[in-house]
Amino acid sequence: MSPREIPTYCRICEPLCGLIATVEDGKLLQLRADKEHPLSRGNACPKGIAFTAVQNDPDRVLYPLRRTATGFERVGWDEALDDIGARLRGIMREHGRESLGWYFGNPSSFSYSHTLWIVGFQLAAGLRHVYSAGSQDVNNRFVASHLLYGSLTSVPVPDLDRTEFLLMLGANPVVSHGSVISVPRIREKLTAITKRGGRVVVVDPRRTETARLFEHVGIRPDGDAWLLASLLQVIFAEGLEDTEALRRQAAGVRELRAAVARFTPEATAEVTGLDPDRVRILARDLATAGSAAVYGRTGTCLGRHATLVAFLIDALAVVTGNLDAPGGSVFGKELVAVSELNARLGLIGYGKSRSRIGDFPDVLGTFPAAIMAKEITTPGPGQLRALFTSAGNPASSVPNPRELSTALDQLDLFVSIDLYVNDTNRKADYILPATTFLERDDIPLPFAALSPTPYTQYTERVLEPAGEAREEWQIIDALATRIGVTPFTAGPARPLGRLFSTLRRKLPGGSTLRPTPTLLVDLALRTGPYGDRFGLRRDGLSLAKLRRHPHGLVLSDSIPTGVLRKVVQHKDNRVHLAPPEITAELTTLTAPPTDPSYPLRVIGMRELKSHNSWMHNAEPLMRGSRRQQARIHPKDAAAANIPDGAPCRITSPHGSITVPILLTEDMTPGTIAIPHGWGHRGGWHLANAAGGANVNDLTSTNLEDIERLAGMSNLNGIPVRIEPVVLAEHRPDQAV
Ligand SMILES: Nc1nc2c(c(=O)[nH]1)N[C@H]1C(S)=C(S)[C@@H](COP(=O)(O)OP(=O)(O)OC[C@H]3O[C@@H](n4cnc5c(=O)[nH]c(N)nc54)[C@H](O)[C@@H]3O)O[C@H]1N2
Ligand SMILES: Nc1nc2c(c(=O)[nH]1)N[C@H]1C(S)=C(S)[C@@H](COP(=O)(O)OP(=O)(O)OC[C@H]3O[C@@H](n4cnc5c(=O)[nH]c(N)nc54)[C@H](O)[C@@H]3O)O[C@H]1N2
Ligand code: SF4
Ligand SMILES: [Mo]
């Protein structure tokens, strides 16, 4: 058969760029950027193109694997599922359901069926130990939205196409391609702001690829809460706040004003490292700009005050009259009414339960991944004994991964659903092979609301599953059956369960047919905000309509504003600017203690050709002997007597790693940037051979090091010291 060219889209990161897959005899020959995609218009990054190497990777897991004394052996699906089911039932009989747990990783958010079925299973099985990559990523953002708007899932995005001033903190979209915002060609969108006479100000301890294109404010790590409080202080003190907007939208203005009063730019200069005059001018410019958007990403999420920082980012938008206003921070419309449904049914929320270890509130039904190890090792009722991971590599991505790795050995049962034997599931009893994104149908449900140009796309699977790979939802469904639960049918999800039963009756084939994700999503889409209401709305969406537009569909030119009343769920219908959690933290905020034994700070960074921990086995991304490097200012390296390129021992109070250094004046002195996701020990040959160290070995899971409000891991601003490595001392497994 001659090759076929099939439009689909990339599901590695948030722009969701359009791709064309060339397929011959059921095999993927290549991926290229889709010129007909309405937004990415022929643009894709090296990772998207290199996904061919993941798809066809000889190291991929294609059959269920079972651990034996000597390594993994291939087993049949039924044998694997039956044994897992029997062991689960045994564990549940002896220790109750509360001994079961699940960790789902970052790639799960790009699969609607995977996410849906995890939530359905969690609710039906009454799972308590649920963890995700969110506590290393974005949960603080959700909690800030809960406090401000009474709605966890309402997150504003910068209105890039219309803004005159973008203040961006702790994000490097030129490399990351944007996150908690879904925009292909984001670099062009940003440069367009300055081309039309606007400004982009990037607050980051490193002069990043993004900062280099615009104005750079070189803040000290973890100084953001102080900077934002100072910006608010100046705006209030100089009467630059938008009183009209505040009167209309907000409650707690007086209390916020009082809480930030002590944070003058002079008072915060020590922590931020910034010139007070520059901060004052920034505050004035932001407040007087025709329109302004404030945006923060992982650099503001992985410090010690993550929720406070996310909160102050939006508070600044409110106080300057830029929330829900054109060119400001705006709220996109959801493709399916998740927030509304959730508010009505109360399915998942914030602080509905507390963790056994550390008493942390749940965020959307999940607890901090940083406590997972202690939940496994601490005896008592509710001890975590059977763990599933899907699309996650927590032994690489969470703080203190050594602690987690050791804890995994103690589990009664550990099952992983993944593409690879990774750094975590090498300890599993079973690894179940998942389909890649090209082997499943998809629609990017959560991302339509995060796109300044709302759009969506539906794709069928482009390839049949390789080997015996299965979709996650099918695996979850099969596991659920083995322990006698049906996703979505119990607890607060009962109304959905009833809907399922109705559907089942109406389906051809009768009661034996279980509802599928495709069926469910079509229903949600058609009844959702953009839906066709089964023909009542002529231009509305349905899967059938999306199938007729295989390159994707733009839903409107921009995000409509003036929607705040619908977004805010607080009873008084106002944005709450002074919830007690926030004012208390502002009142007690003190400069982080400095320890002369650890004078420097480590922060994270992303690389164009890495994706968290899982693309280091893709040959096209690893050419030229790519290695992990620690970026450091020449002055700091000279003081420690370490020449450029030499291995360097980096030691924190919690651990030590060895990484070669790269001298660059892009770093603010005192700060070292190290990419995460290196130092592999899985079943992926190229990744293992690439060496490197796990930067998270420097980080801590001590309860006082986990952010209180959202349970965020502290992965940025880690105090360290550096030393040269004498060659005899360093072993090949240590990084270089
Ligand atoms: N120090 C430090 N640590 C960090 C960060 C940082 O900035 N600094 N960033 C954090 C962030 S933002 C995140 S999101 C987390 C990520 O943390 P995790 O989600 O725990 O880890 P990933 O590295 O994304 O690993 C994803 C796994 O999913 C598998 N996979 C890929 N596609 C699929 C699929 O379609 N189905 C299935 N079943 N499996 C799949 C891959 O093989 C891989 O094993 O880590 C974070 N950790
Ligand atoms: N190529 C590539 N793209 C990716 C990923 C990848 O691994 N590789 N991962 C994807 C994922 S899971 C995510 S969540 C997104 C993340 O998207 P981004 O957050 O845009 O990604 P980063 O490059 O980590 O940017 C964080 C920035 O914060 C800065 N920073 C560190 N500490 C501080 C601080 O205390 N204050 C301030 N103001 N800045 C600080 C760092 O120097 C860095 O430049 O990227 C996604 N896209
Ligand atoms: S930026 Fe790259 S990895 Fe991200 S969606 Fe686009 S092609 Fe895929
Ligand atoms: Mo992430």
| pLDDT tens-place string over residues 579-592 | 999 999 999 999 98
For residue 380, count CB atoms less than 10 angstroms from its CB and return exposed for 0-12, middle for 13-18, buried for 19 or more.
exposed
Tokens coding 555: 């839903």
Nearest of 549, 565, 534 to residue 443 by alpha carbon: 549
Distance in angstroms (rounded) separating the CA atoms of residues 60 and 667:
38
The predicted-structure confidence for 660-673, as pLDDT tens digits, reads as follows 999 999 999 999 99
Instruction: For residue 699, report the distance from its CA to the centre of ligand 1, in Å.
Output: 17
Phi, psi of 433 (to 5 degrees): -75, 125
What pLDDT is attached to residue 338? 81
Instruction: For residue 106, report the distance from its CA to the centre of ligand 4, in Å.
Output: 6
Q: Which residues contact 355 (CB under 8 A, 6 or more apart)?
A: 362, 367, 368, 371, 375, 711
Instruction: For residue 392, report the distance from its CA to the centre of ligand 1, in Å.
Output: 5
Give residue 346's pLDDT band: very low, low, confident or very high (50, 70, 90): confident
Angle between helices 472-482 and 112-125 (to 10 degrees): 20
Task: Examine the pLDDT at 511 and tell me if it is beyond 60.
Answer: no
Distance in angstroms (rounded) separating the CA atoms of residues 606 and 609:
9
If residue 255 lies in a helix (H) or strand (E), which one and from where to where?
Answer: helix 253-260
Any idea which ligand is nearest the CA of 175? 2
Distance in angstroms (rounded) separating the CA atoms of residues 709 and 306:
8
Measured from the Cα of 203, ligand 2's closest atom is 38
Q: Give the full edge-to-edge strand order of the sheet including 199-203.
A: 215-217, 199-203, 165-169, 293-296
Any idea which ligand is nearest the CA of 179? 2
236 close to 257: Cβ distance less than 8 angstroms: yes
Entry field: residues in the chain: 736
Task: Examine the pLDDT at 206 and tell me if it is beyond 70.
Answer: yes
Measured from the Cα of 104, ligand 1's closest atom is 19
Tokens coding 467: 């080997």
Task: Give the chain's mean pLDDT.
Answer: 95
Distance in angstroms (rounded) separating the CA atoms of residues 155 and 157:
7
Ligand 2 contacts (CB < 6 A) are: 13, 106, 137, 169-173, 175-177, 179, 203-206, 208, 219, 221-222, 224, 297-300, 303, 603-608, 610-612, 673, 716-717
Instruction: For residue 138, report the distance from its CA to the centre of ligand 4, in Å.
Output: 7
Nearest of 599, 633, 595 to residue 205 by alpha carbon: 633
Interval 54-66 mean pLDDT: 98
Residue with CA at minimum distance from ligand 3 atom 1: 45
Distance in angstroms (rounded) separating the CA atoms of residues 256 and 582:
9
396 close to 423: Cβ distance less than 8 angstroms: yes
Task: Examine the pLDDT at 483 and tell me if it is beyond 70.
Answer: yes
Q: How many CA atoms lie within 13 A of 488 on its CB side?
A: 18
What pLDDT is attached to residue 486? 81
Task: Examine the pLDDT at 508 and tell me if it is beyond 60.
Answer: no
Distance in angstroms (rounded) separating the CA atoms of residues 704 and 719:
15
The predicted-structure confidence for 371-430, as pLDDT tens digits, reads as follows 999 999 999 999 999 999 999 999 999 999 999 999 999 999 999 999 999 999 999 999
- Range scoring the smallest mean pLDDT among 126-140, 507-521, 722-736: 722-736
Any idea which ligand is nearest the CA of 171? 2
Residue with CA at minimum distance from ligand 1 atom 2: 676
Tokens coding 393: 């590599």
Q: Which residues contact 711 (CB under 8 A, 6 or more apart)?
A: 135, 139, 355, 358, 360, 361, 363, 367, 368, 370, 371
Tokens coding 106: 């970052």
